[in-house]
């Protein structure tokens, strides 16, 4: 058996929450209510459909199925206009160093994201070719905290779940990794991600020694 690594995308490799915030805020404002940063925080790791359901609940609003789908498409178009401007500079500090280490040591790594825009984003930041497997919101039927996305990724990397290390910034994602019997590394606030096996504020706090120990074969 061999070790493998699975990365979430949004909030781990890139900070797209700021773009989601702009796009959801515009949607809310167009519908006549506001949308806060605190609410945006609660949408981390949450699928597009579930996010809009939550937002409409917060705005105390109901939409017909047709209008719901129209608003969701408008939001995504708006979000993609921000994604369009992305390039390598959007890769979060400390991430390239870890990816380089994995490549040099032949440790396979995958993407495991809830986003249906994951492949577009990876291409924009020039990492699309680097991943050994990509599993995203277009490949799964069950959202995090269901471990489906990570289990499919593990399978594609031909690794046992217990040999996988998952980097996640959302509570649902950490839970998904834990349910999947993988090692979970939380990236963000330790008060929020307390269920993770290890927690760091960001990748600049992660040393190569730590990664080395984590991936050492028992």
Residues 160-199 that bind ligand BG6 (CB under 6 A): none
Whichever of 113 and 163 has its CB closer to ligand BG6, that residue is 113
Contact between 45 and ligand BG6 per CB under 6 A: yes
Contacts of 86 (CB under 8 A, 6+ apart): 14, 121, 124, 125
Q: Which residues are catalytic?
A: 8, 10
CB of 9 to Mg ion, least distance (A): 7
Would you count residue 26 as binding ligand BG6 (CB under 6 A)? Answer: no
Q: How many CB atoms lie within 10 A of CB 13?
A: 26
Which tokens in the block code for residue 19? 């773009």
Find the binder of Mg ion among 16, 39, 78, 170 (CB under 5 A). Answer: 170
- Contact flag: residue 145 with ligand BG6 (CB under 6 A): no
Going by DSSP bridges, is the β-strand pair 133-135/198-200 parallel, antiparallel, or unpaired? unpaired
Where does this chain touch ligand BG6 (CB under 6 A) — which range of 29-37, 108-116, 124-132, 194-202?
Answer: 108-116
Among 10, 136, 163, 175, binds Mg ion (CB under 5 A): 10
């Amino acid at each position: 058996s061999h070790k493998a690594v699975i990365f979430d995308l949004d909030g781990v490799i890139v900070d797209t929450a700021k773009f989601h915030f702009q796009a959801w805020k515009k949607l809310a404002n167009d519908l006549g209510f506001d949308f806060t940063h605190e609410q945006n925080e609660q949408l981390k790791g949450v699928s597009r459909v579930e996010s809009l359901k939550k937002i409409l609940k917060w705005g105390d609003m109901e939409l017909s199925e047709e209008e719901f789908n129209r608003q969701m498409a408008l939001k995504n178009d708006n979000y993609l206009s921000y994604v369009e401007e992305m390039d390598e500079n959007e890769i979060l500090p400390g991430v390239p160093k870890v990816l380089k280490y994995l490549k040099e040591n032949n440790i396979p790594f995958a993407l495991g994201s809830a986003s249906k825009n994951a492949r577009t984003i990876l291409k924009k930041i020039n990492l699309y070719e680097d991943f050994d497997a990509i599993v995203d919101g277009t490949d799964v039927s069950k959202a995090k905290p269901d471990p489906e996305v990570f289990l499919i990724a593990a399978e594609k990397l031909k690794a046992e779940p217990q040999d996988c290390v998952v980097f996640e910034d959302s509570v649902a994602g950490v839970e998904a990794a834990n349910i999947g019997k993988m090692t979970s590394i939380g990236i963000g606030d330790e008060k929020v991600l307390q269920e993770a096996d290890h927690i760091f504020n960001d990748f600049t706090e992660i040393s190569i020694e730590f990664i080395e120990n984590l991936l050492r074969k028992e």
